[in-house]
Structure 1
Amino acid sequence: MSAQYTHGHHDSVLRSHSWRTAQNSCAYLLSSLTPTMHILDVGCGPGTITASLARLVPLGHVTGIERSAADVLQNARAHAAAQGVTNITYALDDVLALGFPDASFDVVHAHQVLQHLPDPILALKEMLRVAKPGGIVAARNTDFAAMTWFPESEGISLWHKTHQQVVRSNGGEPDAGRRMLSWALAAGVPKAQITATASAWCYSTPAEIAWWASTWEERVLSSEFATSALERGFATQADLDTMSRGWKTWGAQPDAWFGHLLGEIVCRKV
């Protein structure tokens, strides 16, 4: 069983993901952290969340993993070095078959990962396996259908529909956010040990809108999403051009606003 990552690791994708930190992407987890914890960060990407988690556990250690993107991990190592973060390690590994012994980590964290997997329940079971008794498994995922924006845009609406088709064709679930509690229960976590919450990203300032629009203006043309959409017949090149123009036009509107709902779980391992 393998996972196909919808976005790939094009520069436009990594620029978008490099905005993420522990503070803006896993705030729901931070009150549970203590300085000596050992954390596994699953699907760490460019490592910006990983490095900011490492700063919060200065007497502990963080291990960031990616399934196959060795070049991305090199960039993550460079980011950590530039930030002066030394209590961090990066490695290739697969959350569906983790190469760590049982009970290895105090916290096992995954941000925007489960939505791309063919078996998110198996992934949660693996995350639970490598968590210590009394430890934490934490995950946060987009609920794609709950995204909303203004002004209306034909190009963005087409992107929204096509993106969901591509994710599902890859075996993922774009509306993962609303399923987080259900998946945790199916993985065997007692409901009393699960805290399920939601939070949102909102882009409304000129800088936020310009950044969000520009990343997607490029991503719909150049990332793995574009390749998959074309190869599987979900979009033509003209459709991708319409999406890109839609993002550019929307991003130039003075009243542009984008809301992005995400579901979260914190599971305590008994």
Structure 2
Amino acid sequence: MTTSPPTPSPYLLGADDEERRRLLFQAELLREDTHALLDRLPLSGGERVLDVGCGPLGIMDALSARVGEAGQVVGLDAEPRMIEMARRTVAERRLANVSLATADAADTGLPRSSFDLVHTRLVLMNVPHTDEVLDEMVALTTPGGTVAVQDVDWLTRVCEPPHPSWDRLVTAIAELWRRNGMDVTLGRRLPGMLRRRGLVDVRVRASTHVFQHTDPYQTLLIDRARLCRSALVEHGLITDAELDDHVGALSRHLDDPDTLVVHATLFQAWGTRPATT
């Protein structure tokens, strides 16, 4: 008996203009990591590639440049508002070889074995059907093609000096993710997940970023707590009053020039779908 993939949970971080700005900033923040990954992949131009969960940009601009005019980039997202944002970005940046599609990452409806590279970044940690998404990505990849995944692991998510409000919000948000079927420690397991799907020559790379009080991502944890306020309170993980107290205390702590924030570790893993014999 076959079963349908579970219905994805709503994207907990929203899909408004503020989230578009955050995701575009994130794309710039991770640009060096993006190119470090693409430098290790077999892209010489003319390939057909897919960016799963592209949001307003993802890595479509970098892919567009790598595959060139003879190549094709498809950006896919389940959220129609994200696709509308992506259309704006693609038009603004004149990415002529980029097209967009709206579909669930676990059930894209795209032709099997039709992409030389299938990539996703910061999607798997935010969906409850990670296994189904990875299965779909492998199925969409041509034999001999590459599957590449990027996701974070909260093993390095700390502030220095430590602060109890930081620890309280990290714990509450991680538990919210767990209750929604998601995992904030996914990154370290990505290579094994690729190998279990039969990929070969699996490789891994990891990096992180450190922020100071003048960096926009210094307050990312606070921003996330505010965006998830309703869900956190509804699940009984924190009260409105407690959330306000911790946000206020942590905001003051993070505004201190001596406070550093170490971001979650970004894991990049990639492997080859074996060629048919």
TM-score (normalizing by structure 2): 0.86
CA distance in 2, matches of 1:133, 1:207: 46
Match of 1:9 in 2: 15
Task: Tell me: higher relative CO, structure 1 or 2? Use CA pairs within 8 A at least 6 residues apart.
Answer: 1
Task: Find 2:129's aligned residue among 119, 127, 146.
Answer: 119
Which whole-Å deviations, capped at 9, do the CAs of 1:53-91 have from their partners, x for residues lacking one? 222322212111111x21221111111211122211121
Match of 1:230 in 2: 233
Deviation for aligned residue 1:130: 0.5
Match of 2:209 in 1: 201
1:265 partner letter: A
Match of 1:241 in 2: 244
Name the structure where helix makes up a greater proportion of residues: 1
CA distance in 2, matches of 1:217, 1:173: 19
Match of 1:253 in 2: 256
Determine if the alignment matches structure 1 residue 74 to structure 2 residue 79: no
- Kept in 2: contact 1:103–1:133 (CA 8 A): yes
How many correspondences in the alignment? Answer: 262
Deviation for aligned residue 1:10: 4.3
- Kept in 2: contact 1:154–1:246 (CA 8 A): no
Match of 1:156 in 2: 166
- Kept in 2: contact 1:156–1:246 (CA 8 A): no
Determine if the alignment matches structure 1 residue 42 to structure 2 residue 56: no
User: What is the alpha-carbon root mean square deviation over aligned residues?
Assistant: 2.0
Which whole-Å deviations, capped at 9, do the CAs of 1:191-232 have from their partners, x for residues lacking one? xx211221212224x542xx11345434422x2x22211111
CA distance in 2, matches of 1:198, 1:116: 19
- Kept in 1: contact 2:198–2:273 (CA 8 A): no
- Kept in 2: contact 1:38–1:106 (CA 8 A): yes
Which whole-Å deviations, capped at 9, do the CAs of 1:237-259 have from their partners, x for residues lacking one? 12321343244223311122222
Which runs of structure 2 are paired with 1:41-190 in the superposition (5 Å)?
41-59=51-69, 60-67=71-78, 69-190=79-200
CA distance in 2, matches of 1:2, 1:139: 21
CA distance in 1, matches of 2:89, 2:54: 12
Helix, strand or coil for the counterpart of 2:192?
A: helix
Deviation for aligned residue 1:111: 0.4
Deviation for aligned residue 1:93: 1.1
For structure 2, list consecutive stretches of 5 or more residues without a partner in the other structure: 1-5
TM-score (normalizing by structure 1): 0.88
1:162 partner letter: A
Shift of the 3–45 alpha-carbon distance from structure 1 to 2, 3 Å rule, reads same
CA distance in 2, matches of 1:11, 1:218: 14
Shift of the 152–235 alpha-carbon distance from structure 1 to 2, 3 Å rule, reads same
Which whole-Å deviations, capped at 9, do the CAs of 1:97-121 have from their partners, x for residues lacking one? 1211111111111101111232322
Shift of the 214–15 alpha-carbon distance from structure 1 to 2, 3 Å rule, reads farther
CA distance in 2, matches of 1:158, 1:13: 24
> Once structures 1 and 2 are overlaid, which stretch shifts more, 128-137 or 150-159?
150-159
CA distance in 1, matches of 2:165, 2:239: 13
